[in-house]
A and B are shown apart, each in its own frame.
Chain A
Amino acid sequence: MKLFTFKTKITLLAVFVFLVNNTTVQAQKVVKDTVLIITDSIKPNGEKNYRAGWGILIPEYAKLQYAGSMGFLSLGGGWDYGKRKQWETDLFIGFLPHYSTSKNKITFTLKQNYIPWKLDIGSKFMIEPLTTGLYLNTIWGRDFWVKELEKYPNSYYAFSSKIRINVFVGQRITYKFKEDREIFKSATFFYEVSTNDLYLLSAVNNSYLKPKDYLVLSLGLKVQLF
């Protein structure tokens, strides 16, 4: 499981942010100097123009998630996009009390959600019958490594104790606040059933482990900010 090192990830993120920011700035210059038609071709979804520049980095919603193999409680935010806002990308920071181990731990999660359907129930409620996706979780601490340490013979353990890949399916129900609000537009309750690479590897070739052993439940709240 060779993944980018932490430094490479940070650099990539910085480059990405720089490029996005730069393009938007150029777009604004074009608006000032020439005609509006060009602006339209650069920014087709005109309604988002107010979130120019660094503004696009402001999360559109906040999420709070309980359990789900990413911490006791995780707090995060993210961005929705796509024609029907069927995609959501979240970043979480999770807190994990030490329990029987020596230290409290912090985790980070990058989560990609796909929400194919939205069903309105009356004017106030909306149900999303399926949410699904993947999340990568990393755990902070000296006990965990991405790549096994040099001291080990080649492929001695052949897995990373630091990075987990999780898959999930879930459902959501949303309550919409008054239409004309500028912030806190809606609140969503969700639950998810997930598993991760370690639990899946443990479950295959065994009849002893049952779904309740290798499947994980989590609950969450999402508040739509903008």
Chain B
Amino acid sequence: MIRKLLLSFALLFLFAGCDMFDYHPYDGQITGDKGVNAKNIARIEAACAGKTSIKFVSMGDTQRWYDETEEFVKALNKRNDIDFVIHDGDFTDFGATEEFMWMRDIMNGLNVPYVGLLGNHDCLANGEDIFRTIFGPENFSFKAGNVNFICLNTNALEFDYSRPVPDFEFIQNEIDKQQPEQNKTVVAMHARPYSEQFDNNVARVFQNIIKGFPDLQFCINGHDHHLQANDLFNDGIMYYGSASIDKKSYLVYTITPDNQYTYEVVYF
């Protein structure tokens, strides 16, 4: 009888157990896909090369809303007019390792490539290390057709001056890299200027510097969990905020060669 019992335990562990041995919610033990942003950027740049009209989606703040995020993925997979998706940050609520992997696996279900920004919740505990391993650096840029996307970490409250947030050195280097051809720019961030996360002492400085990018179209952000469209600095540069995914909406932007862009809110 004991032998039978022991055998059944052993079988239980073999079949059900292997990935159920959890060392700690903050163990940083990552299985599956890593370096997601870099892989997807390669896909975006290849697919959009030579295009002068691009259509992309901005969404985010998916923390703990797994079912809703899955619904979003299903809804978006029914379309075939989108070039890529930007997740505006807050993949997780607690910065726990498993949360990052759960959300990554759902987002990986998208037919189109996506990139993820660092949200303030993603910085909690050692979340930032996990974000870097699964997605990549917190400041990055890519080019879709003739539009440059500058993706920035703006969660200054999480970093206590230990690191420059926003990183003007990075921004200036990106500006210097630009060729003055007919390129356009979109700046993406999790928390926008004047939110409690942003280093508001440099809000105007930030705005003046990003206006140095060629033909800055608009800025996109997440964080506030509701839809936003504001000319924050009264200078014609719009900031558009996506709602959290439980509101079941996403934003679609179309940038066209006639020097115009349109955006629409889509409910799913």
Residues of A bordering B, CB below 8 Å: 66-72, 94, 96, 98-102, 105, 107, 121, 125, 127, 137, 139, 141, 143-144, 151-153, 157, 159, 161, 164, 173, 191, 196, 198-199, 201-202, 205-209, 212-213, 215-219
Contacts and interface: CB of A to CB of B under 8 A. Distances in A.
Contact of B20 (A107, A137, A151, A217): A217
B16 interface: yes
Interface string B80-116: 0000000000000111111100100010000000000
Interface residues of B, number: 44
Given A208-B106, A217-B13, A217-B21, 6 more contacts: A71-B23, A100-B129, A143-B125, A157-B121, A201-B93, A218-B21
Contacts, number: 116
B31 to A, nearest CB: 10
Interface in B1-38: 1-2, 5-6, 9, 13, 16-17, 19-30
Contacts of B130: 100-101
13 contacts: A69-B23, A69-B25, A99-B27, A99-B30, A101-B126, A101-B130, A139-B24, A202-B102, A205-B67, A212-B16, A217-B16, A217-B20, A217-B22
Interface of B: 1-2, 5-6, 9, 13, 16-17, 19-30, 64-67, 70, 93-99, 102, 106, 121, 124-126, 129-130, 133, 157, 160, 196
A161 to B, nearest CB: 4
A89 B24 CA distance: 21
Given A152-B157, A173-B2, A206-B66, A139 B26 contact: yes
